[in-house]
Each structure stands twice: as structure tokens, then as C-alpha cells.
Amino acid sequence: MTLEAHAARATSVDLGGDVLASAGQDGAIRLWDPARRRQLGPPLVRHPGDSAAVALSANGRTLVTTGGNGAVRL
């Protein structure tokens, strides 16, 4: 399965529940439905610069992101 939407390299992915989260050098955090192989709406967060990492809770309801500027968002 290939999911493509980031304008630059993906830097991090995490799976929580039925949701996949991805972060990219384009600064975007994207959520995906891997079973249907589709993106869930527009990018959720845009970090200035790149998005370094994402982490989802086990049930997929809580998302933590970090950016190249040192910010951590919940």
C-alpha cells in the first residue's frame, strides 16, 4: 500500500487504533484511514519548517507532534 500526499519526504509515521498519522518535511501532519487507503481531511497541523515526528495514543484519539523549531503540540 502506498499513501502519497506530502510535498516532501515523510519523516515519521505512527499507527494508533484505526488511524495512521504521518509527518513530513513539508511541515504537514496528516491523518489516514489505512483500511480505506485515504487521507482523513486536510493537513491537521502545520509546523513552521518541517514536522519531525508524530505519536498517536493506542486508541488513536490523542496525537502529539514535534517540529523542527522545537515545538511540541498535543
Residues 23-69 pLDDT 10s: 888 888 899 999 999 999 998 867 776 667 899 999 989 999 888 77
Residues 6+ apart with CB under 8 A from 19: 31, 32, 33, 40, 56, 60
> Taking the model in full, what pTM does it have?
0.83
Q: Using alpha carbons only, what angle is made at residue 2 by residues 73 and 54, rounded to the nearest 5 degrees?
A: 15
What residue ranges do the domains of the chain occupy?
A: 10-73
- The DSSP H or E segment spanning 4 is none
